[in-house]
Amino acid sequence: MTAELEWADGAYDAALHLLDRQIVDVDGLAVAKVDDVELTPDGDDLVVTGLLTGPAALIPRLGGRAGGWLLRHYGAVKVTQAHPTDPSVVDIAQVATVTSQVALSVARRGLLRPRDDRAQRHRVGQLMTSTVRLPDGLHAGRVLDVRLRLQPGNGALAVAGLVVDRHNIGGLLGYDRAKVDGPIMVSALLRRLHRRARFVPIEHAVIDWESRELTVDLVRHGEPLTPAR
């Protein structure tokens, strides 16, 4: 499978192109893996401001009671740290390129540390583990991915929308994208499996961060999933 990107290409799916990728510094030395993606509210937008690393970023991606229980116990073990449940952050401004790995423009020495402010921030992992419901409260499936786009003008990477499917099995693995090559049988199977997947613009999704629930009207606002460029 080939799907190499540069920031200038404009469209990214967070789970496909960022989560679990190796981060390397300006000298090509390993730094960490991307365990989650930090989102910061900016007016009506959710802007990507950092890449989160470490167990405190990875554990909550489990979602539900298991994720909460493990994070609490992890914090109890790391009693020597001031804020043990705060993940380390690589600021998004330090990212140079995204291909099969995330390359930084800085050296790794002293790079990884938690945020020293308590500003309101969210995570892609919260969206990926949220329950998706229709306006009448019925279960509507899951978030397969969070689509990001470069904003015109300022070049910030922001959440454009959610890829939602009633089917709870598997992910798209990039086979909904135009520049991905792979086995024909796998491609056909995944496209068949997720044929009802829809793209929901973020402005039409009501997000309850505390309860981890999303409300979307797939009939009115869900768009057929067409290949992203």
Provide the CATH number for the domain around residue 74. 2.30.30.240
Report angle CA 42, 177, 149 to the nearest 5 degrees. 15
Domain that holds residue 165: 125-224
In a domain, 229, yes or no: no
Name the nearest CA neighbour of 196 among 123, 132, 149, 128.
Answer: 132
Q: Say how many Å lie between the first and final Cα of the chain, rounded.
A: 16
Q: Based on the domain organization, do 21 and 118 belong to the same domain?
A: yes
pLDDT confidence of residue 52? 95
Q: Based on the domain organization, do 11 and 116 belong to the same domain?
A: yes
What is the H or E stretch that residue 17 is in?
Answer: helix 14-17
Does the pLDDT of residue 74 top 90, yes or no? no
Q: Based on the domain organization, do 130 and 154 belong to the same domain?
A: yes
Q: Based on the domain organization, do 139 and 79 belong to the same domain?
A: no
Does the pLDDT of residue 55 top 90, yes or no? no
* pLDDT grade for 198, boundaries at 50, 70 and 90: confident
Does the pLDDT of residue 182 top 60, yes or no? no
* pLDDT grade for 227, boundaries at 50, 70 and 90: very low
Q: Based on the domain organization, do 155 and 211 belong to the same domain?
A: yes
Q: Residue range 198-223: average pLDDT?
A: 90
Mean pLDDT of the chain: 79
pLDDT confidence of residue 1? 27
Q: Based on the domain organization, do 22 and 117 belong to the same domain?
A: yes
In a domain, 1, yes or no: no
Q: What is the pTM of this model?
A: 0.78
Please count the structural domains in the chain.
2
Q: Based on the domain organization, do 118 and 133 belong to the same domain?
A: no
Q: Based on the domain organization, do 111 and 150 belong to the same domain?
A: no
Does the pLDDT of residue 61 top 50, yes or no? yes
* pLDDT grade for 59, boundaries at 50, 70 and 90: confident
